Amino acid sequence: MQLPEASPKKEYVLVIDDTQPNLHLLITMLTRRGYEVIGISDSLKAVSAAQTEMPDLVVLDINMPNMNGFQVCEQLKSSDRTRDIPVIFISARDEVLDKVQAFAVGGVDYITKPFQIAEVLARVENQLTLRRLQRQLQEQNERLKQEINSRIIAETLLQEANEKLGRLVNLDGLTQLANRRCFDEYLEQEWQRLARERLPLSLIMCDIDFFKNYNDTYGHVAGDDCLRKVSLLIKQSVNRPADLVARYGGEEFVLVLPNTDIEGSIAIAEVIRQGLQELAIPHEDSAVSQLVTLSMGVTSLVPVTDSHPSVLLTAADYALYRAKELGRNQTYQIG
């Protein structure tokens, strides 16, 4: 007699929010999507529940009594048992510093309230897909350990699997560009290399002008689509394998251009600007154009071994600030 196949286990989402209407809405829409969901309004109980229940994903509010969302995330990331559980922040706080802190403590995504149901579901599914792929790679590693007797062959295949996992971990889920962690590591690597070779290193920092207005006008789903289109355009503007395009955070992007002087960097910025103009994404609530535009800060220098890449990053950030201050939809250079 053939036994019935076991039904696949539902993925488990832990929702932490002390606002009952939000908690109820998130539980309802995630349950209808087919996930197993538990909602907790007490942050201290939520940390304990995560340790015992081991959810596949945590959706976490920031403003809570006893312990705020940043502290909850830090607790989860400090434990070997829960550090790999992805955390999506969901908050009414829309300040850049709040988003930066959310990613700094280990969050993988940030959704602002009031949220769109379709957006929340899409971002949850994206992170769970990454989680499934990570587990598949981990399981593959375990099978390789058991099946391959030759240590040399086993180590080679494990290295390949881990490299795939590393590339996955270093990708931004929405844009498929390098993420902030990948950018930080690559900038440090190229800084040290070019300091030894005494060759220039350039950065271009880009920010979509009035992107909050874009989201307010067209909605967050359209906003995500805009981010994907702009990120693809920026990625296509560079051709060399050594050039890296990363999502720096929110609507900001950064290009690392090894062995490129200021003139070469400005030329790439102009390619991006012209390409975006040809792409012609409508933006009726922009104060500088009827189309989506970028402000860009460009800087270049020859690294030195006794300095730090933060020097270059600070200069690029200031150049971007000046481009915005001077009216946006333009490029400002330092170096």
Q: Which residues are catalytic?
A: 251
Contacting residues for 280 by C-beta, under 8 A, at least 6 apart: 291
Q: What is the SS3 assignment for 228?
A: helix
Nearest one of 99, 26, 96 to 62, comparing CA atoms: 99
Measured CA to CA, the distance from residue 1 to residue 249 in angstroms comes to 56
CB 20, CB 30: distance < 8 Å: no
Locus of tokens 């209407």: 21
In residues, how long is the chain?
335
DSSP state of 199: -
DSSP state of 115: P
Token pair listed for 2: 């053939």
Omega before 4 within 30 of 0, i.e. cis: no
Phi, psi of 237 (to 5 degrees): -80, -15
Measured CA to CA, the distance from residue 95 to residue 192 in angstroms comes to 33
Please report, to the nearest 10 degrees, the dihedral formed by the alpha carbons of residues 276, 280, 283, 284 taken in order. Answer: 140
Cα separation of the two ends of the chain: 77
Phi, psi of 264 (to 5 degrees): -65, -35
How many CA atoms within 13 Å lie on the side-chain side of 322? 13
How many CA atoms within 13 Å lie on the side-chain side of 178? 19
Q: What is the SS3 assignment for 206?
A: strand
